[in-house]
Structure formats: structure tokens, C-alpha cells
Amino acid sequence: MKTKIFALFIAFGLVSNFVGTSFAESSKNKKPNELVALLPASDGVVAMDSKRFFASALPQILSGNKEMLDEINAKIDEFKTSTGIDIRQFDQTAIGVAAKEISPNNPNFEAVVLARGKFNADSIAGLAKFASEGKYKEEKIGNRTIYIFSPKEIIEKNKTAVKNPMLQKVMNMILPALSGEMAITAYDNKTLAFGTPDRVRLTLNTDRAGVDADLMTMVNKNPSAIGSFAMNMPQGAAGFLSLGDDELGQNLASIRQMFGSMNVVGENTVVSVTAKTLKAENAENLKTSLESLKIFGSILDGSKREDQKVYGRMVKNAKLSSNGDQVSLDLQVPQSDINILIGAK
């Protein structure tokens, strides 16, 4: 069990390094992501400052490996050619994820994305239609037209070989998730809605419920961050994650909600994650269990491999705290360590 949680601990650090970099701004000058309020009822929501990510964060985090940055930009260009969507034109992005139980302990997840930027959403939706080479379906909802097609077929037809092994792993994770259909439409003149057909249809339904107030509050706690998330743990999550029935597994299973954010302060990438548990004693016990994992940090710190030393520092430097039914993790990773992880050249 501890090995699984340790792996999750490291994986989260890697993800935060890859997507969490931006320049810190005063929260007084930042407003909450407006698109979150337009999402349908969701079990999880993500708010992202896409403009800052593509203009500042991505170039900074990959400043030590220009080859990787160039390859990512090439894949973004490829996606634009294939679908007609240039994600670098997005200013704000909001994602709403809903969990559906296929069977006990086997939830399925469907998402809708709202992306707003300096473009004509009607034109880009039309480009996606033509990029599918006629292999699409149309639906009308009010005065909007939804285009439905298979993104996997389009992307695989136009993709080129990925040279960087880390990027290849990411592509291998993404493509299987695109095996189903995607729907895309113009939500308004500056906003695209795309995702699974059912979630896009629901987004356009004026009678549906929106994101609940609790998730809205959690995802908007740090409006200056480049990315924030909030989620309700879905039914069956404990079985899906194979948490086990020991004390640590029981405390992890007691988590009812999670929220957090990612940003950069000075030369440090800053990650903050909070879990709300069923009872205060679960939060305190979970904090104690996670603190015991810091022994792995000392073990990795003695490794001959520089990347494993970085993981060791991440584990040891993570700060854990509890307050009532909440346990929080705060982590800072310097750019010098990020350069090691991305293979600076």
C-alpha cells in the first residue's frame, strides 16, 4: 500500500512540474475563471489560465530543453491542421468531468471543455467539420450546430513520429482515451464547447443544473494560479484505486473532496493540494501516514541518478498539515530540479 501511495506522490510531482509553471500574480488583480460557471453539474472541475500557460509557462518550464519545446509546438500545429483548433488561441479553459458507474468499483469519466479566446468560435467549429474529411454527423440544438466525429482517427492519420520518449508516453496515454466520439460546437462567438457528445449536449441545455456551490468555492480559492481543480470523490473510487483495507487504505477511502492549485513564485513551482475527509481523525491519521513516507526521500536522496535525487528532495520538502477534517500538502520545486527532470540540454 505504501509503495502505491509513494508512486502517486511522485507522479503528482511530475505532473505539477510539467504543467504547473507560471508567473505569480497578485490575487487582487485576478478574477475567477468565468467559464466554470457555464459548466453543467460535474463531479470534478478544472480551471486554467491558458494564455499564461502557452505564452509564459510552457516556454519557461522547457527552457532547458528547446528540442522538447519545439516538438510540443509541432504537435500543437499538427492538432490544428487535423482539427482546425489552435489551442494556443485559448485565453481561459474550464473542464467539467462527470463520473458514471459502469459497474461496482468501475467508474467511467466523461468530460466537456469550454475554451474562450481571441478567435471566431463559429469559424473554428466549421474548420473541425471540414478537417474530418466528411466523416462527421450534425445535430441541431436551438440555433447551434454540433459536429460529431472521431478525433483518434483524424490524429492518427496525420501524426508524425514523436522523438522524445517522455512525449511518446504522453501520446500513448492520450490516444486510447480518444477512441470514442467527440462533439464540438460554438457556445458563443468567442467560446468553444467540445468533449463527449452527451456532455456537450448537456452543456447547451438551458434547464440543466450547474456546478454546485461547494466545488465553485474550492476551485476559485486561488484565482492567481495558472491551474486549479476541485472534485468530489466518485462512488466506487476506493475499489477502483485498489486502496486496500489497512489503516492507510481506510483513511484514503475517507476522502470525500479534493482541491488544489499550481503556480510559480520566483524560481519555484508551487503546488497545493487539500483533501477533505469524512472525519477529523481521518485527516490527522492520513497526515501521519503520509509523513512516514518521507523515509523514501532520504533513500532516493542517496541515489546515483540525479532524477531520483530530485524525487527524494520533493518527498522530503513536501509540507503536510491538517485542520479539522482537511489535510493539505504544499510543495515547492526549483527550476533547477525541473531542468533535471526534463533532461536539460
Instruction: Please give the average per-residue pLDDT across 200-223, as a whole number.
Output: 94
Residue with cell 471566431: 120
State the pairing for strand pair 268-277/227-232.
Answer: unpaired
Where is pLDDT greater, at 225 or 130?
Answer: 225
Task: Note whether 227 and 262 are within 8 A (CB).
Answer: yes
Instruction: Please give the average per-residue pLDDT across 162-186, as a whole number.
Output: 67
Structural domain including 161 reads 33-216
Where is pLDDT greater, at 237 or 107?
Answer: 107
Instruction: Please give the average per-residue pLDDT across 48-53, as a whole number.
Output: 91
205 in the same domain as 85: yes
52 in the same domain as 189: yes
Of 159, 181, 216, which marks where a domain is finished? 216
194 in the same domain as 60: yes
292 half-sphere exposure, CB direction, 13 A CA radius: 10
At residue 83, the pLDDT reads 66
335 in the same domain as 267: yes
Decide if pLDDT at 174 tops 70.
no
Q: How confident is the model at residue 65 (pLDDT cuts 50, 70, 90)?
A: confident
54 in the same domain as 23: no
Q: What is the pLDDT of residues 108-143, one digit of tens each?
A: 788 999 999 877 777 777 777 766 777 888 899 988
Decide if pLDDT at 175 tops 70.
no
DSSP 8-class letter at 200: H
Q: How confident is the model at residue 10 (pLDDT cuts 50, 70, 90)?
A: very low
CB atoms within 10 A of CB 61: 25
At residue 233, the pLDDT reads 85
Instruction: Please give the average per-residue pLDDT across 203-215, as a whole number.
Output: 94
d(CA 322, CA 299): 26
Which of 153-157, 183-187, 274-278 shows the lowest mean pLDDT across its residues? 153-157
At residue 8, the pLDDT reads 36
251 in the same domain as 188: no
Helix, strand, or coil (residue 328): strand
At residue 78, the pLDDT reads 79
110 in the same domain as 16: no
27 in the same domain as 46: no
Of 216, 251, 282, which marks where a domain is finished? 216
Decide if pLDDT at 261 tops 50.
yes
201 in the same domain as 72: yes
At residue 29, the pLDDT reads 53
| Cα torsion 292, 297, 298, 303: sign | positive
Q: What is the pLDDT of residues 303-322, one digit of tens each?
A: 889 988 888 888 888 999 99
236 in the same domain as 190: no
Task: Note whether 81 and 66 are within 8 A (CB).
Answer: no
Over the range 28-55, which residues count as b (16 or more CB within 10 Å of their CB) and which as e?
eeeebbebbebbbebbbbbbbbbbbbbe
Number of domains in the chain: 2
10 in the same domain as 76: no
323 in the same domain as 242: yes
At residue 162, the pLDDT reads 64
pTM, two decimals, is 0.81
At residue 57, the pLDDT reads 80
Q: What is the pLDDT of residues 70-119, one digit of tens each?
A: 888 888 887 777 666 788 889 999 999 998 766 555 667 889 999 998 77
Of 167, 190, 216, which marks where a domain is finished? 216
> How confident is the prediction for the chain on average, in pLDDT?
79
Q: How confident is the model at residue 345 (pLDDT cuts 50, 70, 90)?
A: low
